[in-house]
Structure 1
Amino acid sequence: MSYLVLARKWRPQNFDEVVGQESITQTLKNAIKMNRVPHALLFTGPRGVGKTTMARLLAKALNCDKGPTDTPCDQCSSCRQIMQGTSMDVQEIDGASNTGVDDVRQLRESVQYRPSSSRYRIYIIDEVHMLSRGAFNALLKTLEEPPEHVFFIFATTEPHKVPQTIQSRCQRFDFRRIPPQMIVNRLVKITKDEGINITDYGLRLLARQAEGSLRDAISLLDQAVSFSGKEIKDEKLNELLATVDRRYLFELSSALINAEPKKALKILDHVYERGYDLKQFLKELIDHFRDLMVVKFIDDPSRFLDLSQTELEEMKKQASLASEESLIPIFEFLLQAEDRMGRTEHPKVVLELVLVKASSIKPMLKVEELIGELQTLKKELLSGKIRIDKDDFELMGGPALDSPAQGDAGASGGNLKAEASVEQKTWLGFIEFLGKGWPGLASMLKNGRLIGEDNNQIRIEFPENDFCLDFLKDQAEVKKLNELASEFFGRSLKVICTGRSDPGKVSEQATPPGVQREKLQQELLNHPLVQKAVEIFSAKLDEVKVK
């Protein structure tokens, strides 16, 4: 006799042996006891979670000589025939190869006949979503009002492709992925009875690779036995499954958390030299950081993670060294790399770039700590420990104009002067003041550059042959401008507009731009508020721009 694979050998033979689908098995068992089994059922869910197995168990329970019963005897001819797949009254149809209308017509004709030797005629259609639309339509009437001796059981991995007209005529059961721990428990029983020696790490690795499919996990176990015999070593299993030694995952994640890009690149290079698939390596690294975040944010992470106790303790130790603010950006970098890896012909270069970026993230303050520092700064400002004058921030390309004493203000400028606060007594403040009532003049002055003030004369320099210069040399405009400047600054002032080629210009009298810029930069760096901000944010000023 040919070899019987473990997945078939260990297929459940009663409802109690089904793993991970307790709610469905209980519902079907109760329906059998109460004689309330629907004539059409739709089983949906991922591959390898028990849909076809459950359909066979239900058929066996309905046709058992001692039934209908939720505990079929497995001894009668009907049970044995269903177990062997030879029953004439239980037909399993592959929906992928019987998709046409003619196939459904043959089925419709056969349902009219009574069962040959069993109580019911049962049709199990696997991958039912593969039927054509015409085939579904041909099935509608039979499905709505089948003969009393007929049951339909449909199974599919893609329920969204099954028409709603079909789904509405069925009772639907959604099978879920089997939790890793349940898969491990089942594998423990199988390996014990089969005499297979495998570590706890190996069992959990098989469960992770199966992704919720018990059939896949048993098939991988079968493959591992064929590869290395009944003594399955972790190294051999990693080699068979092309998975990365978890030691590399812990070392690389530690390098990323501790901001060690050189170490991260060395580990990646070693992984690459060992021949590991980089896309698979990135997938496992993402899963590793996902586990780290679960450990970091959840008090009892064991029920959310498929890890041995040793791995869980090591994961907790590593998570304690990482801040919440650093884990999330690293995780996002890795997810972005996964998207890019699928579109590039240079996966190693992409992964190297991402690892350098992820390991170069500077530690950030927690929001709570930042708020606390700002509140402390606020208290110091209110208490007077730090004094701030807003004039300190009017750092412009030209010198500020001095404000007069409060007693020097002229009576003529009372109303307009009230709108201009003391901290606005600068050239930019004057232009802003003009913009409220004389926007044309303000616009003209913006084209010029303030040279400075000398003997109550404000000197403005314009480019040669500038239209604004010609306009502002008009006597009427000059008079209005002088009056407004005197009114704003509270003392008698004249505004002198010159061109760069005028012999009367005073550019040479002003401070050289380079020296002036350095002076302003130094004033800004020495300001107490700037120094406090640098202290709070643990920052450094890379560049200071002076307008």
Structure 2
Amino acid sequence: MSYQVLARKWRPKTFNEVIGQQHVLAALANGLRENRLHHAYLFSGTRGVGKTSIARLFAKGLNCVNGVTAEPCGECEHCKAIEEGNFIDLIEIDAASRTKVEDTRELLDNVQYKPVVGRYKVYLIDEVHMLSRHSFNALLKTLEEPPEYVKFLLATTDPHKLPVTILSRCMQFHLKALEPQQISAHLADILQQENIPFEDLALDKLANAAQGSIRDSLSLTDQAIAMSNGKVTLSVVKEMLGLLDESQAIDIIYALQQGNGEKLMQVVNAVADKAGDWDELLREVAENLHKIAMQQLLPQPNIDESNQIGFLAKHIVPEDVQFFYQVLVTGRKELTLAPTPRMGAEMVLLRALAFHPKLVNHVIATEPAQSAVENATKSSMPSAAQSVHAIEMPVVSQAIKAHYQAKKQPIHQDVPHQANLQTTQAQSLEQPAEALVNSPVLNALEGLNQLGAMPSPSASEKKSLST
């Protein structure tokens, strides 16, 4: 007997075997029990979450020999034929390969014929969003008012591409991506029944890599079994998926928080030596930052400071965690634009290091002290502009300026001290004191001072002078 892959071998045969999707299963089961059946159903969701499997189970419940039931027997010829994919009244169509309107019209021409052996004629159209616009238009009337013995089951990964006229004619069910814990438990149950040894951590890695898809997780498990010669181990799974050591992602967070560029590049070089996936590196760092943020918000009692996540949650402020996470998530989009993936990853990490708020605040804090020293140095030395201005200023202008500056200051001593003050100011302007003292300019200024000391004329004197 030929080998059958796990994804096909362990396809659910009853509603109870379906993993997750309880909100969909409950609605379908109630409809079958109460015989409240819609004529068109739309199942949407990401890949490998059970859209076509649930549709086949629903078709089995409609056509079981024991009657319409939410619990088909799985033993009658109708149930077995549906499981084997050769039931004549279950017409499965791949819309991706039959997009033309001619194909749709050929399909609709057969709708008028009653089922051959079953109770209902069921049309299962997979990836229905791939149909052309004309095909949708041809399907509208039949989808709205089909014969009572016809049921349409539509499956798609992208319901937004369907016309609203199609959506309004269907009962819609959105299937959710599964949680890693659900996938890991399902894989463990299957491997136990297959008598294949495994490591729990290896299954956790496979569940995370599946990204919510049961089919993907089973395909990866098949690959891991083939690589490990019948045993699913953590080392084999890491090698297969190109995963990194958990310590490397943690070491990067330590280096970013400490502002240690040398340590950061050491980790990057270690990743390069193992030919690691650079996008996976940034993803794992972001995933650990998310764990740290959640631990800070909702502390888990089983995670203390002896755990690396618990230790980082205690010693990294939430603002830094959010900053690093934002830089990494945004930087992952730029990897395809970088010259090489490694360069892109390095620049993302260096950006987080360069704009780390802690380091920026440290630089800003040191700037005022440096500025104070520079200002003190500048104030003790005349600026170049002042020196040039003093050199170009004529001697008379310098003397007059010095004179009026001296007059603005309060005089507490005698006139000889004022002359000394003028002499000091003249020397500060780098002019010879003897040239200013013996110059006629100071003599003229003394005359002006004497005139300023004379009493002002009275009104009668002003009148006589004017006449």
- Asked if Structure 1 and Structure 2 have the same fold, meaning a TM-score greater than 0.5 normalized by the shorter chain, the answer is yes
Aligned 8 A contact 1:452 1:458 in 2: no
Aligned 8 A contact 1:265 1:355 in 2: no
Any residues of structure 2 matched to 1:62-461 within 5 Å, and which?
62-300=62-300, 313-359=307-353, 361=356, 363=358, 454-457=402-405
Aligned 8 A contact 1:295 1:301 in 2: no
Letter in 2 for 1:39: H
Q: CA–CA distance in 2 between the matches of 1:311 and 1:151?
A: 58
Deviation track 1:35-82 (CA, whole Å, cap 9, x = no partner) reads 112000111110011100010000000100112000000011110000
C-alpha displacement of 1:350: 3.9
Aligned 8 A contact 1:73 1:79 in 2: yes
Q: Secondary structure at the match of 1:252?
A: helix
C-alpha displacement of 1:320: 1.8
Higher relative helix content: 2
C-alpha displacement of 1:269: 0.3
Aligned 8 A contact 1:252 1:264 in 2: yes
Q: CA–CA distance in 2 between the matches of 1:239 and 1:245?
A: 11
**CA RMSD, aligned part only?**
3.2
Deviation track 1:454-510 (CA, whole Å, cap 9, x = no partner) reads 454499xxxxxxxxxxxxxxxxxxxxxxxxxx9xx9xxxxxxxxxxxxxxxx89746
Aligned 8 A contact 1:258 1:359 in 2: no
Q: Secondary structure at the match of 1:176?
A: coil
Letter in 1 for 2:240: L
Instruction: Report the CA distance shift for 1:254/1:87 in structure 2 as closer, same or farther (over 3 A).
Output: same
Aligned 8 A contact 1:294 1:301 in 2: no
Instruction: Report the CA distance shift for 1:244/1:507 in structure 2 as closer, same or farther (over 3 A).
Output: farther
Q: CA–CA distance in 1 between the matches of 2:298 and 2:55?
A: 39
Deviation track 1:427-460 (CA, whole Å, cap 9, x = no partner) reads xxxxxxxxxxxxxxxxxxxxxxx9997454499x
Q: CA–CA distance in 1 between the matches of 2:143 and 2:289?
A: 49
Q: CA–CA distance in 2 between the matches of 1:196 and 1:335?
A: 37
TM-score normalised by length of structure 2: 0.76
Q: CA–CA distance in 2 between the matches of 1:72 and 1:296?
A: 49
Q: CA–CA distance in 2 between the matches of 1:161 and 1:296?
A: 40
Q: Secondary structure at the match of 1:68?
A: coil
C-alpha displacement of 1:202: 0.8
Deviation track 1:299-335 (CA, whole Å, cap 9, x = no partner) reads 3599xxxxxx899943223322222232222223323
C-alpha displacement of 1:159: 0.5
Unaligned regions of 5+ residues in structure 1, if any? 303-308, 367-394, 400-449, 460-485, 490-505, 512-547
Aligned 8 A contact 1:244 1:276 in 2: yes
C-alpha displacement of 1:248: 1.5
Q: CA–CA distance in 2 between the matches of 1:353 and 1:341?
A: 10
Instruction: Report the CA distance shift for 1:263/1:65 in structure 2 as closer, same or farther (over 3 A).
Output: same
Q: Secondary structure at the match of 2:129?
A: helix
Partner of 1:15: 15
C-alpha displacement of 1:5: 0.5
Q: How many residues align?
A: 385
Q: Secondary structure at the match of 2:334?
A: helix
Partner of 2:61: 61
The higher radius of gyration belongs to 2
Instruction: Report the CA distance shift for 1:312/1:20 in structure 2 as closer, same or farther (over 3 A).
Output: farther
TM-score normalised by length of structure 1: 0.65
Instruction: Report the CA distance shift for 1:163/1:203 in structure 2 as closer, same or farther (over 3 A).
Output: same
Instruction: Report the CA distance shift for 1:453/1:293 in structure 2 as closer, same or farther (over 3 A).
Output: farther
**51-60 or 10-19: bigger deviation:** 10-19
Could you tell me the percent identity over the aligned residues?
38
Q: CA–CA distance in 2 between the matches of 1:114 and 1:345?
A: 61
Q: CA–CA distance in 2 between the matches of 1:321 and 1:33?
A: 57
Q: Secondary structure at the match of 1:72?
A: coil
C-alpha displacement of 1:289: 1.9
**244-253 or 221-230: bigger deviation:** 244-253
Deviation track 1:383-402 (CA, whole Å, cap 9, x = no partner) reads xxxxxxxxxxxx9x999xxx
Instruction: Report the CA distance shift for 1:149/1:452 in structure 2 as closer, same or farther (over 3 A).
Output: farther
Aligned 8 A contact 2:42 2:153 in 1: yes
C-alpha displacement of 1:225: 0.4
Letter in 2 for 1:95: A
Letter in 1 for 2:326: E
Instruction: Report the CA distance shift for 1:131/1:296 in structure 2 as closer, same or farther (over 3 A).
Output: same
